[in-house]
Amino acid sequence: MCEKSFFLPSFFFFLFKSFILMLKQTKNEMTEGTVTEESEFDIDLVTELFEKSLFGDNDVSLPLYIDAYRQINKFFSLLNKGFSFVEKDLLEKEKILHELHVADPAHYDTVNSMVSWECRLGAPFEKGSRTLLRLHRALLFIVDFLKNLKDSREEDQISMLCQASYDGTLSKYHSWIVRKLVGVAAHLLASRDCMLNAIISGRSSRHEYEVMQAITRFISIAEQVFYRLQKIYEDKNILNLP
């Protein structure tokens, strides 16, 4: 019993220390500009894909939403490795939705058709509706954080902006330990300039006002997508799926 009591705190201290070292390494990589092309987040591409996903007056194309999210998922990668658990979770959910669409394109072509079909079957807890809801919630965090970044000043701390957005969106769905780890990850985010440069895929030739215009356009389109999904889920009373 004594050995177990001694081992567990030591083990968790080792994991926490390793986590901190990993985050510092990621921060250095961003500061030095060594983010690879494969991991780049292209805000213009994501905006284009989300805009194409808008279907009719009040629906969203599911495959185009997934395509957009495959790109937007890189946003969590550029924050730092502390958010890798979010990135991996979203990748898994994108895969689930893609497989549902491939297996049954008629019912999984749009968000409305998917939700209507699954509610008719009585299975929104187990299939795409529940999975998509997780992506939907994460999108709100990204939009809120980019709003804070757009309105920030040069001297503002990115860590505080990120933490405020997380606390107001995703944190209520996460466990205590996850919230603490995200807090540490947010604290070690790179500078405002590094973050802006990463968002535009390292195209430093862009002036800051052009970057802000790109962020503003993304926010406008992403909010349209978000509120369409929100309305669909509200109408079916499934916004609080466990």
Q: What is the pLDDT of residues 43-78, one digit of tens each?
A: 999 999 999 999 999 999 999 999 999 998 888 877
Confidence band of 16 (pLDDT split at 50, 70, 90): very low
167 or 84: whose pLDDT is higher?
A: 167
pLDDT tops 60 at residue 8: no
Chain-centroid distance of CA 199 in Å reads 13
Tokens of 235: 């109408």
Amino acid sitting at position 184: V
Q: Is residue 129 within 8 Å of residue 79, measured between CB atoms? A: no
Look at 202 and 151; give whichever has higher pLDDT. Answer: 151
pLDDT of residue 209: 83
Predicted model pTM: 0.81
**Who wins on pLDDT, 150 or 36?**
150
Average pLDDT, the chain: 82
Please check whether residue 161 is in contact with residue 149, taking contact to mean a CB–CB distance below 8 angstroms: yes
- Does the pLDDT of residue 215 top 60, yes or no? yes
Whether residue 7 is predicted with pLDDT greater than 70 in this model: the reply is no
Q: In the chain, where does DSSP find H-type helix?
A: 2-31, 43-53, 62-72, 74-79, 84-103, 111-121, 128-150, 158-168, 176-187, 192-199, 208-235
Q: Helix, strand, or coil here: 125? A: coil
Q: Which domains does the chain have, with CATH numbers?
A: 35-235 (1.10.3520.10)
